[in-house]
């Protein structure tokens, strides 16, 4: 064999090796592209499975994060009256007419509750807003329409434009199954920091909102130590499975800071259904102003030589005032009466009575056991719808 023949054969061998190498590289690139494609499909179809190698928090967040939105609002706020000196004609000539209102911006969070474009949030996030803009998890910015609000439970429903596609509805949990010590994961946009996740536990249940200083609301809240900050309002509180168990609504500032509170999702879901359908949310009421009475407090009162009446030395809800033309007035309740049971449930605090009334139907008779002096009375009472004038106080 000549050297020239060997050279030609060598060139063909090199070309063949190059083709083989290119085929291998092309095949590898195709495999990698397919792997990336299927990974993206997996993330879209089952985000939690894509995070299977991560902790339970990452898996829970992956399920619900695509349903969490940021809500930006604008409202017109009337300015307060100016100092009398500003009415001076000389000052008005120098400064001109001062505006009697200004624009105010607000921000909160929300969660998509169905693929038809309904977003659940807090009433205080959208209250009085002239414009509501919703930013979805994928970055789309849409105008929202407030279809209903309920100040009593601090809940509101916002509707996205009809035909909005690729919406992910959050998975709802069951807040009645919660126990103190369960995991709690808060999602939202505090201080405009999108997609923030904080972790804690359920610290307590049935925390009455009136004990936090809100007398115009009717709520028993979930207490959590998961960090909730301004801007988190309306965002979801999750369990370890990534299901929504509450709606973040309050954070304690000042002494006791670090305590967060959420509206149980079982309550929020029922209110949201009414608001979305356009039906009013009816809250039964009796027309009573109550204070808690304990055995010790009654005993201290009764031993006071200046006390005008003797109180029953028993736990219950003490009637401080009966509103005129209310169901309580019609039933014959009086100031100083002690309510100790409602229906078949004992009443130890005003919150106990409120829970029974909230669970009753308007117009349906409810029997109250009342202690009045030495008498033990059983008074039937029919709750009426909470008047709008009272709900707005």
Q: Please give the positions annotated as active site.
A: 124, 154, 233
| Strand pairing class (183-188; 338-342) | unpaired
Give the DSSP H or E segment for 144: strand 141-150
- Cα–Cα dist 369/362, whole Å: 19
**In the chain, which residue ranges form alpha helices assigned H by DSSP?**
3-45, 47-50, 56-64, 89-95, 123-126, 265-277, 295-302, 327-331, 350-358, 388-391
Residue 304 backbone class (left: φ over 0; alpha: ψ -120 to 50; beta: rest): beta
| Strand pairing class (131-135; 141-150) | antiparallel
Structure tokens that stand for 313 in this block: 């030395």
- Cα–Cα dist 236/31, whole Å: 39
Structure tokens that stand for 26 in this block: 């092309």
Residues in the chain, how many?
393
Structure tokens that stand for 195 in this block: 């997609």
- Cα–Cα dist 189/176, whole Å: 26
- Residue the block writes with tokens 């804690």: 200
Radius of gyration of the chain (CA): 31
Beta bridge partners of 379: 368
- Cα–Cα dist 137/126, whole Å: 19
Smallest Cα–Cα separation from 293: which of 370, 355, 349, 333?
A: 349
Identify the DSSP state of 313. Answer: S
- Cα–Cα dist 134/234, whole Å: 12
């Amino acid at each position: 064999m000549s050297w020239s023949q060997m050279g030609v054969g060598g060139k063909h061998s090199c070309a063949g090796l190059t083709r083989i190498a290119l085929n291998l590289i092309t095949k590898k690139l195709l495999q990698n592209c397919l792997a990336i494609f299927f990974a993206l499909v997996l993330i879209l179809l089952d985000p939690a499975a894509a995070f299977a190698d991560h902790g339970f928090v990452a898996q829970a967040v992956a399920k619900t994060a695509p349903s969490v939105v940021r809500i930006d609002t604008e409202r017109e706020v009337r300015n307060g009256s100016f100092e009398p000196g500003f009415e001076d004609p000389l000052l008005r000539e120098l400064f001109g007419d001062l505006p009697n209102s200004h624009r105010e911006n607000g921000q909160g969070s929300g969660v998509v509750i169905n693929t038809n474009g309904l977003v659940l949030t807090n009433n205080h996030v959208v209250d009085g807003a002239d414009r509501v803009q919703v930013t979805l998890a994928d970055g789309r910015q849409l105008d929202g329409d407030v279809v209903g609000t309920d100040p009593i439970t601090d809940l509101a429903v916002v509707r996205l434009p009809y035909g909005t596609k690729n919406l992910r509805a959050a998975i709802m949990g069951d807040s009645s199954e919660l126990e103190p010590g369960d995991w709690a994961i808060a999602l939202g946009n505090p201080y405009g920091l999108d997609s923030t996740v904080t972790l804690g536990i359920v610290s307590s249940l049935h925390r009455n909102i009136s004990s936090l200083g809100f007398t115009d609301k009717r709520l028993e809240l979930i207490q959590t130590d998961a960090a909730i900050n301004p801007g988190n309002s309306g965002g979801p509180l999750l369990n370890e499975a990534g299901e929504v168990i509450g709606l973040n609504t309050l954070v304690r500032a000042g002494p006791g800071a670090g305590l967060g509170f959420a509206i149980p999702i079982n309550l929020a879901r029922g209110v949201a259904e009414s608001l979305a359908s356009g039906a009013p949310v009816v809250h039964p009421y009796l027309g009573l102003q109550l204070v808690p009475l304990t055995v010790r407090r009654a005993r201290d009162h009764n031993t006071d030589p200046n006390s005008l009446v003797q109180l029953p030395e028993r736990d219950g809800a003490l009637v401080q005032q009966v509103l005129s033309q209310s169901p309580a007035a019609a039933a014959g309740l009086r100031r100083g009466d002690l309510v100790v049971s409602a229906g078949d449930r004992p009443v130890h605090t005003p919150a106990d009575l409120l829970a029974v009334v909230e669970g009753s139907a308007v117009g349906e008779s409810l029997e109250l056991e009342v202690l009045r002096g030495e008498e033990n009375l059983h008074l039937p009472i029919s709750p009426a719808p909470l008047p709008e004038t009272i709900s707005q106080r």
